[in-house]
Structure 1
């Protein structure tokens, strides 16, 4: 049930943005057990000066291809699973789009079952919790 937001510069073409979305989804399926079809992604392109990142913070070498991936998901994954997710996203971005791992910032925000409504003004996971969450 993750909600993914991917922010890029406006120079990134639509096709490349779609590859980024697919890469995040594939990485989540491979590392943190996201079920098939659970894909909700917002792709946002920013004009020059609207996506700001220090080019060398934490020892990175960032360029104009800087990408921010924000994932909101249910609480409970181990640090090891989260690190595997980070590695897989960076690997797939580089493999599929040639975006260097130094240009990939990933932020996870965790919440609980009652923090989600998928429509109809209902908290579906409160009314019908997914397997393993009961």
Structure 2
């Protein structure tokens, strides 16, 4: 049940943003076993001065084309699933949109099942 926040600097086309969202959703479904149609995404652009990152942190050279992807999801994915997710997203963004792999920053935020309400004021994933 991931909630994706996707952030980038201003100036990308609607088609570019839509494709980024599609790539993230497909990898969530393929690798993290997110259910079909479990697509909740916020895609936002920011003025260059409001999109701050270190261009050389950990020896990875990032450009102004950097994209931040943060998923809040139910805990329990393996390290191998997480690594496969990171790789599929970076590879597909590169293949489909020519985004540099170095420019794909991904953060996973695991939470408990009882931390979700998808509506009606109910803990949706609690039996």
Q: With the length of structure 2 as denominator, give the TM-score of the two structures.
A: 0.97
Q: CA deviation at 1:14?
A: 1.4
Q: Does 1:125 align with 2:122?
A: no
Q: Which residue of 2 aligns with 1:8?
A: 8
Q: Deviations over 1:72-105 (max 9, x none)?
A: 0000011111000000010111111111110000
Q: Deviations over 1:23-59 (max 9, x none)?
A: 0011111111111100000001001211111111111
SS in 2 for 1:36: coil
Q: Which residue of 1 aligns with 2:115?
A: 115
Q: Which residue of 2 aligns with 1:104?
A: 104
Return structure 1 stretches of 4+ with deviation > 4 angstroms: none
Q: Which residue of 2 aligns with 1:44?
A: 44
Q: Which residue of 1 aligns with 2:54?
A: 54
Q: CA deviation at 1:62?
A: 0.9
Q: Does 1:88 align with 2:84?
A: no
Q: CA deviation at 1:12?
A: 1.5
C-alpha distance in structure 2 between counterparts of 1:124 and 1:109, whole Å? 18
Number of equivalent positions: 127
C-alpha distance in structure 2 between counterparts of 1:73 and 1:14, whole Å? 26
SS in 1 for 2:55: coil
SS in 1 for 2:28: helix
